[in-house]
């Protein structure tokens, strides 16, 4: 319970606040004051949100030294130190002493939830003498760092409350563990209980919960190692907490709805338990039943226990390694993996994947390797030595892990590989897994209209769900389609060789009788046009998100034209062929009309003009002349549509008889570019980015 009498926006040198007074942030979102948690009568100095129900405290100063009555006083002294005094004027808590020269210090609660002491009147970070963000409690807020300042040896980590009535440090902590390649780990006392995983360029693979409203980053250099997240929408609030029972929960609320919602419960399944399967084994959780499987070339250490589902002893190699023949070893690719504990790994940020593989094969103790960063086809190198611990198989997230096996095991594995669909393309074999028609019919409820996601030139696309829960996008060739087997083969031959985050991933195909089907990873947010041109969903795309989408499409296009080992012209770029994943990251899709350019070839002609009017350039529409510039033209149309929220083919400027392109050019020449911007974006955008 909190009672207030006076409110201040800052605390100047020599000033104080008493129990009942509060310090309030500029927008009134955050308060600093005294409170009693739960049913307790003890008093604590804390930070809480004012615009949310129930009462949400995110930081406690004197969590280990409570006040026994309402006589607490917080002062700011001439050295810039916050001092908390009790009834007998004894100090029960104080902030750290800064090494900087102090001149007229002031203390401020910020809208971010940070409580800072500043040196003088400046608002930049260099003027901060002390901040609560450096000393987290049980809550991680946006823009708060979880990790280490290596120069000062300052550790920022979460520690739970003992109970809802007692904020004293409990037994659970969440930390960035620095040994080997840094990773996020939750401890119960000194024991690891779960491992969120190491950063892969996009996220911590083992983390669960919604991330579509947040952006994340991980910083690793000689000065700092930390994880941080921030919100894309300023009307949304988010708090990540570590509960007294050890659950890592995430809460969201908005300015429109002040009731906080639990969006990540922190519940753990058996595979979340650290080393549930022991060493050299992979945990799989399907149908609410955990299962452990030894990696290829390994066998259970305790077969009798393994047979009754007691897996904690893990697996051992079937045969001892012969280092003299290490170059005859090979690697098996395990997909959608939570990679092993990286505390015994080494890493290199400059190697590519091939160099990483060669480095591993040269070292007899190296047991596995993986990309450090999975974006843009992968970069950097992680190497493991000896045992591989705490691995997990996911149905659709995770990353590729390459595990070393002797040549004898590679031969056995090749015999177990299922049939593949092969297409000859420029003297190269493209191998792609096939799906049985009955499996896809089951997954889509016999291609039910309820599961239909949309329809393009190839035919309808359906959402499918396999027995293991994996979601698919199933593209079925329509008998009325102008496209056919050649387009299907073309798409398979091209996209099966492409690996980039901003290109949709082809999982397999099905050719049975008259049925011709392609199977892709499922994109939960469907296509870009469903957002940009929708009167409701367009509000979900703020400028920051639109700019990220524009940049992501550009990365995908650059890869197709320049960075992949093939040079590919897509020929049908449009907003409906840009799919959005759960994070609203864009993926270029539909390669049925794409063409491969060989060597130094930069242009070509076709007798059959394909593509979509409104997106194809004039020289292609009139003469069949296409090149990489054709895709760039289509990309430009998409950019204008994203920025304006209007369709090129449907837009009409009655005063000047212009389509969207002509209208945009007129505004540009008249230096009125900002008038093109979608009206729902308001003034929250960065004008320099819009104009660029």
**Hey, which residues are catalytic here?**
572
* Residue 331 burial (C-beta neighbours within 10 Å; 0-12, 13-18, 19+): middle
Phi, psi of 657, rounded to the nearest 5 degrees: 55, 45
Taking phi over 0 as left and psi of -120 to 50 as alpha, with beta for the rest, 565 belongs to: alpha
Q: Which of 608, 615, 678, 675 is nearest to 648 (CA)?
A: 615
Residues contacting residue 569 through CB under 8 Å, at least 6 positions apart:
560, 561, 594, 595, 597, 604, 626, 627, 628, 630, 631
Give the residue among 557, 561, 555 at the shortest CA–CA distance from 603. Answer: 561
Task: Judge whether 38 and 165 are in contact, CB under 8 Å.
Answer: yes
- C-alpha dihedral, 678 to 680 to 686 to 688, nearest 10°: 10
Packing angle between helix 628-644 and helix 543-558, nearest 10 degrees? 170
* Residue 529 to residue 642: CA distance in whole angstroms: 9
> How far apart, in whole angstroms, are the C-alpha atoms of residue 486 and residue 23?
69
- Which is nearest to 571 in space by CA: 531, 629, 516? 629
CA–CA dist 415, 417 (Å, integer)? 6
Structure tokens at 601: 């070839």
- Cβ atoms of residues 587 and 504 within 8 Å: yes
- Cα Dmax for the chain: 93
Give the integer Cα–Cα distance in Å for 405 and 264.
Answer: 38
Hey, what long-range contacts does 361-364 have (CB within 8 A, 24 or more apart)?
A: 361/326, 361/327, 361/329, 361/404, 362/326, 364/321, 364/323, 364/326
d(CA 589, CA 592): 9
Distance of alpha carbon 343 from alpha carbon 633, whole angstroms: 48
Q: How far apart are CA 383 and CA 359, in angstroms?
A: 8
As a whole number of angstroms, the distance between CA 280 and CA 265 comes to 29
């Amino acid at each position: 319970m909190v009672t207030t009498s006076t409110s201040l926006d800052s605390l100047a040198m020599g000033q104080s606040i008493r129990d009942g007074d509060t310090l309030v942030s500029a927008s009134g979102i955050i308060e600093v004051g005294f409170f009693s948690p739960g049913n307790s009568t003890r008093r604590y100095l804390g930070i809480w949100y004012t615009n949310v129900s129930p009462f949400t405290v995110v930081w406690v100063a004197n969590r280990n030294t409570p006040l026994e009555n309402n006589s607490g006083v917080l002062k700011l002294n001439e050295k810039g130190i916050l001092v908390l005094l009790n009834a007998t004027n004894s100090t029960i808590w104080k902030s750290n002493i800064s090494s900087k020269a102090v001149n007229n210090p002031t203390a401020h609660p910020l809208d971010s939830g940070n409580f800072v002491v500043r040196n003088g009147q400046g608002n930049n970070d260099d003027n901060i003498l002390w901040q609560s963000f450096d000393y987290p409690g049980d809550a991680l807020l946006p823009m708060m760092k979880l990790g280490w300042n290596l120069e000062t040896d300052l550790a920022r980590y979460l520690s739970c409350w003992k109970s809802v009535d007692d904020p004293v440090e409990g037994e659970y902590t969440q930390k960035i563990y620095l040994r080997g390649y840094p990773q996020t780990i939750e401890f119960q006392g000194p024991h690891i209980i779960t491992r969120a995983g190491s950063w892969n360029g996009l996220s911590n693979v083992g983390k669960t919960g919604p991330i579509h409203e947040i952006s994340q980053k991980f910083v690793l250099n000689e000065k700092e190692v930390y994880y941080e997240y921030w919100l894309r929408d300023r009307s949304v609030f988010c708090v990540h907490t570590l509960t007294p029972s050890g659950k890592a929960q995430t809460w969201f609320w908005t300015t429109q709805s002040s009731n906080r919602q639990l969006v990540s419960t922190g519940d753990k399944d058996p595979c979340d338990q650290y080393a549930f399967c022991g060493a050299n084994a992979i945990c799989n959780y399907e149908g609410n039943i955990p299962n452990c499987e030894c990696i290829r070339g390994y066998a259970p250490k305790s077969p009798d226990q393994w047979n009754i589902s007691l897996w904690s002893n893990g697996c051992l190699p079937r045969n001892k390694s012969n280092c003299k023949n290490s170059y005859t070893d090979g690697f098996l690719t395990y997909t959608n993996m939570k990679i092993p504990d990286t505390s015994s790994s080494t890493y290199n940020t400059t190697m590519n994947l091939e160099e990483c593989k060669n480095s591993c094969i040269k070292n007899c103790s190296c047991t596995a390797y993986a990309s450090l960063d999975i974006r843009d086809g992968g970069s950097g190198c992680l190497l493991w030595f000896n045992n591989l611990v705490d691995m997990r198989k996911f149905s659709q997230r995770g990353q590729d892990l390459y595990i070393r096996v002797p040549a004898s095991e590679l031969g056995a594995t090749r015999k177990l590989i299922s049939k593949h669909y092969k297409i000859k393309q420029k003297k190269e074999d493209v191998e792609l897994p096939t799906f049985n028609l009955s499996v896809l019919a089951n997954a889509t409820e016999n291609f039910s209209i309820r599961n239909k996601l949309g329809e393009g030139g190839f035919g309808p696309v359906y959402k499918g769900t396999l027995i293991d829960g994996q979601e698919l996008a199933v593209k079925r060739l329509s008998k009325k389609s102008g496209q056919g087997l050649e387009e299907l083969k073309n798409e398979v031959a091209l996209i099966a060789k492409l690996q980039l985050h901003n290109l949709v991933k082809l999982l397999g195909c099905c050719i049975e009788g008259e049925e011709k089907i392609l199977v892709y990873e499922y994109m939960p947010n469907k296509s870009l046009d469903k957002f940009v041109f929708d009167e409701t969903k367009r509000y979900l795309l703020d400028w920051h998100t639109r700019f990220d989408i524009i940049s992501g499409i550009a990365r995908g296009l650059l890869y197709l034209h320049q960075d992949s080992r093939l040079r590919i012209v897509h020929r049908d770029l449009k907003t409906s062929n840009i799919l959005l994943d759960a994070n609203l990251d864009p993926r270029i899709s539909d390669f049925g009309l794409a063409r491969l350019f060989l060597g130094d070839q930069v242009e070509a002609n076709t007798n059959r003009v394909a593509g979509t009017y409104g997106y194809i350039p004039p020289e292609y529409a009139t003469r069949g002349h296409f090149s990489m510039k054709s895709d760039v033209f289509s990309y430009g149309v998409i950019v204008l549509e994203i920025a304006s929220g209007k369709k090129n083919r449907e837009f009409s400027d009655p005063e000047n008889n212009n389509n969207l392109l002509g209208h945009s050019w007129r505004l540009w020449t008249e230096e009125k570019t900002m008038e093109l911007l979608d009206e729902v974006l308001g003034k929250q955008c960065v004008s320099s980015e819009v104009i660029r």
